[in-house]
Amino acid sequence: MKNGLETPNVLGIDPGSRRSGYAVLSCEEDRPKIEEVGVIELSTSLDLEDRLVELAGEMSDIIKQHNPTIAALEGVFSHGKFPRSALILGHARGVCLLECRRLGMSISTIAPAEMKRLIAGSGLATKPQVQRSVAAWCGLKKPPEPNDAADALGMALFQLRKLTPHLRVTP
């Protein structure tokens, strides 16, 4: 606690129907501190409905373990050529939204381009650029992999920066 204000604990989520990235960040001495970052690998041998149940359980466990105060989720975007993919992604996103809300969290939706602009300096940043940028922000020796984890870390950083404007890059 600093100046009577509680430091936010943010859960960043990059939802997916096969693999979902997540990152939990807090703030220590005006710098981002990674509590945990990783991916939830879903069983591809299962039907979509069963993978969604698996995702809900994993997301619930992460939330209960870290007790974040707010979730930052990647907003919905669609590729005109792949409307079915966007629909399936929407199912995974819905499960994450439901679990966050069910466990009493505030939720922020972030457009991928908006996160890239703040974290990497360009709304058109590539996956490798985002990976390098989140590594620099968090003082990591190498970029986080896979890119789902890096995107989730970017979402969490974006939200943490919004809540903690004095946030600085970790050396």
For residues 18-29, give the mean pLDDT: 95
Residue 41 among the catalytic residues: no
Query: Does the pLDDT at position 18 exceed 50?
Result: yes
What pLDDT does 5 receive? Answer: 53
Query: Does the pLDDT at position 32 exceed 90?
Result: yes
Q: Which of 58, 99, 148, 151 is catalytic?
A: 148
Summarised one tens digit per residue, pLDDT across range 82-97 is 788 888 899 999 999 9
Phi-psi region of 8 (alpha: psi -120 to 50; beta: other; left: phi over 0): beta
Mean residue pLDDT across the chain: 92
Residue 74 among the catalytic residues: yes
Summarised one tens digit per residue, pLDDT across range 150-159 is 999 999 999 9
What pLDDT does 78 receive? Answer: 65
Q: Which of 58, 74, 99, 151 is catalytic?
A: 74
Query: Does the pLDDT at position 1 exceed 70?
Result: no
The 3-class secondary structure across 22-87, one letter per residue, is EEEEEEECCEEEEEEEEEEECCCCCCHHHHHHHHHHHHHHHHHHHCCCEEEEECCCCCCCCHHHHH
Query: Does the pLDDT at position 168 exceed 90?
Result: no
What pLDDT does 170 receive? Answer: 77
Summarised one tens digit per residue, pLDDT across range 110-154 is 999 999 999 999 999 999 999 999 999 999 999 999 999 999 999
Evaluate whether 111 touches 120 at the Cβ level (below 8 Å).
no
What pLDDT does 2 receive? Answer: 44
Phi-psi region of 40 (alpha: psi -120 to 50; beta: other; left: phi over 0): beta
Residue 151 among the catalytic residues: no
pTM: 0.93
Q: Which of 14, 58, 99, 151 is catalytic?
A: 14
For residues 45-72, give the mean pLDDT: 98
Confidence label for 4 from pLDDT (cuts 50, 70 and 90): very low
**For residue 170, which phi and psi values (nearest 5 degrees)?**
-80, 130
For residues 47-72, give the mean pLDDT: 98
